[in-house]
Amino acid sequence: MIESITDTKKINTGEEYINSLRNRNLKVWLFGEMVKEPVDHPMIRPSINALAKTYDLAIAVPELASVISPFTGERISRFLHVCTNVEDLVLQNKMQRKLGQLTGTCFQRCVGMDAFNSLYSVTFEMDEKHGTTYHEKLKGFLTRMHQNNFVVGGAMTDVKGDRSLPPHQQEDKDMFVHITNRTKDGVYISGAKAHQTGCINSHWMVVMPTMRLGEKDSEFAIVGAVPVDAEGITYVYGRQSCDKRSMEGGSIDVGNAQYGGQEAMVIFENTFIPNEYIFMDGEYDFAAMLVERFTTYHRRSYVCKSGVGDVLIGAAASVVDMNGVPKASHIKNKLVEMTHLNETVYGTGIAASYQGYKTKSGAYICDEMLANVCKHHVTKMPYEIGRLAQDLAGGLVATLPSEQDLNHPEIGDLLQKYLRGKADVKTEDRMRILRLIENMTLGRNAVGYLTESMHGAGSPQAQRIQIGRMMQLEYKKRLAKIIAGVETEENKDLLIDELSGYFGRVFKI
Ligand code: SF4
Ligand code: FE
C-alpha cells in the first residue's frame, strides 16, 4: 500500500486532489454496504469538495494558503507546514476563517496540521530526554508528505470503553489503540478511533494516544503514520442529520449542495506501522505533553467556525431582506449580536496565535489559555448565533415544503405564489436561503457548526479543566490583597518576579 502512494505525483489543484482519491482500496461501510468508490458517492462527495477547496485556495491566494516547504523548496499547502514564527500561526487562522467562509462547513484538514506542529516539538524534547531519534524520522515523514502535497489526517480520540479505568485496566484492551505485535521492522496496532474528521479523504493518517498515560500503559503510548489504505483498516461512515437529502438528486432541500463535513470511525486490526514512521513507542511520560500541545493548536483552530458563522450571518441577513424587513431595529440588533459573538470566537483564536512562542525545537506554539478560551466560546456561541438565525428566518425554516412539490406541475404554481416574500425575489431563492439556514442549524452542517463545535478538540469540560489549571488564582488573590492593603508593599517586587507562565509570555511580548 505504501508503495502505491509513493508513486503518486505532487498534487496541486482541487481536481488533482479529487482524482488522487480514486481507485484506492479503502474499506468504507455506509448504510450496511461497502462503498465502491467514495469519490462518486453523493453523500461523501460534498466532504471531498470541501477539502478540495484547500488546494484551490492555495492556488488562488498562495500567500494565505500555501508556503515554500523548508524540506523540498517547493510550494505546498499551509496545512502541511510547521510554524516557525508568530505570523505562521496567525496565517493558519486567517486561512481557516476564509475556508469556513467559502465552504460553510468543516474542510477537515486542521487535525493533521495541528498534529505535525505538536509532534515537531514533542519528538524533539522526547529525543533530548530518552536519546531516541523520533524528531529526524518525523522530518523524513514530513518531507515525504511535502513531496506529494498530501492530505494527512490525525487520529486521536480512542473509543475509551469504561471511562473510569485507565487503558491497561480495560476489560478489552482494544478500547485504546495499542501495540499487538512487534517485529524488527515495526509494530502492529489494534483498536478504534471514534469520529475521525476527514479520515477517508486523507492520504495518510497520524495515530496518536488520546490522553495522559501511566507506566503500565506503555503499550498504548504509540504514535505513528500509516497510509489510509493500509491493510487492517476499516472505516464506518458516520451518518448526519438529513444526510440522505444529498442522495435525492435536487439542489434546494440539501441546503449546501456542494460542501459537507465527514466523520467516521476508524478500526485498526493488526495494522502495521514501519519503524521509519514511528514517532513514539512506549514513552508514556510524553503522552500528556503531546495531547496538551495538540489541543493547544487545535482549540484555536476552531476559528474555522467564525468563517462558517459569517455564512450563517449572511444567510440570516439575506432572508430578512427577502422578507422585506431589513431595517427593523430589533432585526439589526440581532444581526449585530450574531456578529459580536462570531468575532469573539475569532478574536480569542487569533489572539492565541499572536501570543505564540518558540518551543525548544524552534516550532512555534500558540497560547494555551487563549486557545482554550476560544474553543470554550465555540461550545456555546454558535448555538446562540444559530438560535438568532432561526429567529430571523421565521417558522418556514422548519416547515418548508419539499423541492419536489415546488417543482410539481400540479401544486408548484400555488407554492410559488404562497411561499413568496418580496415581489422581486424569486420564491426558489428564498427557499434556498431558508434551506441553507436549516442545513447549518438543524441539518447536515449543524453537525459541524453545533455538535462538533461542542465536542471537537475536547468537550467543554476539557477546556474548563485547562483554564482552571492556568488561571493563577493565588497570584490574582495577592494582586487584590496588595491593592486592598491586606498584604505589605514589599510583596510588590515579588509580584514582578512571579511573572511566569501565561502572564510571563504576555509580559515579554
Ligand atoms: Fe478544521 Fe474546524 Fe474542521 Fe476542525 S472543525 S478540522 S478546526 S475546519
Ligand atoms: Fe474537529
283 is catalytic: no
Identify the pLDDT of residue 3.
44
298 is catalytic: yes
Identify the pLDDT of residue 6.
45
Pocket lining: 345 vs ligand 1, CB cutoff 6 Å: no
Pocket lining: 449 vs ligand 1, CB cutoff 6 Å: no
CA 486 to ligand 2 centroid distance, Å:
46
Identify the pLDDT of residue 488.
76
Which one from 103, 105, 263, 449 is the annotated catalytic residue?
A: 263
Pocket lining: 379 vs ligand 1, CB cutoff 6 Å: no
Which amino acid residue places its CA nearest to atom 5 of ligand 1? 106
Question: pLDDT tens digits for 416-433?
Answer: 999 999 999 999 999 999
Which one from 110, 199, 242, 374 is the annotated catalytic residue?
A: 110
Which ligand ends up closest to the CA of 113?
Answer: 1
263 is catalytic: yes
The residues near 240 (Cβ < 8 Å, ≥ 6 apart) are 260, 261, 263, 443, 444, 447
Taking 50 as the threshold, does the pLDDT of residue 267 lie above it?
Answer: yes
Q: Please, which residues have CB less than 5 A from ligand 2, an ion?
A: 197, 456
Residue found by looking up cell 531519534 in the block: 133
Identify the pLDDT of residue 475.
81
199 is catalytic: no
Identify the pLDDT of residue 294.
97
Question: pLDDT tens digits for 84-100?
Answer: 999 999 999 999 999 99
- Ligand 1 atom closest to Cα of residue 108: 6
Identify the pLDDT of residue 495.
59
Cell numbers for 232:
487492517
Q: What is the DSSP letter of 282?
A: S
Which amino acid residue places its CA nearest to atom 3 of ligand 1? 106
Asked which of 54-63, 382-391, 494-503 is least confident by mean pLDDT, the reply is 494-503
- Ligand 1 atom closest to Cα of residue 100: 8
Which one from 81, 146, 178, 298 is the annotated catalytic residue?
A: 298
197 is catalytic: yes
Question: pLDDT tens digits for 26-81?
Answer: 999 999 999 999 999 999 999 999 999 999 999 999 999 999 999 999 999 999 99
The helix/strand/coil state of 326 is coil
Pocket lining: 389 vs ligand 1, CB cutoff 6 Å: no
Confidence band for 119, pLDDT divided at 50, 70 and 90:
very high
Q: Which of these, 242, 258, 300, 250, lies nearest to 107 by C-alpha position?
A: 258
- Ligand 1 atom closest to Cα of residue 111: 6
Q: Please, is 303 exposed, middle or buried when counting C-beta atoms within 10 Å of its C-beta (0-12, 13-18, 19+)?
A: buried
Taking 70 as the threshold, does the pLDDT of residue 8 lie above it?
Answer: no
Q: Say what percent of the chain tops pLDDT 70.
A: 94
CA 448 to ligand 1 centroid distance, Å:
8
Would you tell me how many other CB atoms lie within 10 Å of the CB of residue 14? 19
The residue-averaged pLDDT of 324-353 equals: 97
Question: pLDDT tens digits for 9-27?
Answer: 899 999 999 999 999 999 9
By the 8 A CB rule, do 355 and 370 touch? yes
Domains in the chain, ordered, with CATH? 5-287 (2.40.110.10), 300-469 (1.20.140.10), 473-506 (no CATH)
By the 8 A CB rule, do 452 and 386 touch? no
Which amino acid residue places its CA nearest to atom 6 of ligand 1? 108
Identify the pLDDT of residue 508.
38
Identify the pLDDT of residue 509.
33
**In this structure, are strands 28-30 and 233-237 parallel, antiparallel, or unpaired?**
parallel
By the 8 A CB rule, do 26 and 200 touch? yes
The residue-averaged pLDDT of 299-327 equals: 97
Taking 50 as the threshold, does the pLDDT of residue 240 lie above it?
Answer: yes
Average of per-residue pLDDT values in the chain = 94
- Cα 356 to Cα 237, 293, 366, 509, distances in angstroms: 36, 12, 4, 10
The residue-averaged pLDDT of 331-336 equals: 98
Confidence band for 4, pLDDT divided at 50, 70 and 90:
very low
> pTM to 2 decimals?
0.95
- Ligand 1 atom closest to Cα of residue 452: 5
- Ligand 1 atom closest to Cα of residue 105: 8
Which one from 157, 197, 210, 271 is the annotated catalytic residue?
A: 197
Pocket lining: 107 vs ligand 1, CB cutoff 6 Å: yes
Pocket lining: 202 vs ligand 1, CB cutoff 6 Å: no
Crossing angle for the helix pair 287-301 and 460-470, nearest 10 degrees? Answer: 110
Cell numbers for 375:
474553543
More confident residue, 477 or 103: 103
Give the C-alpha separation, 305 to 95, whole Å. 12
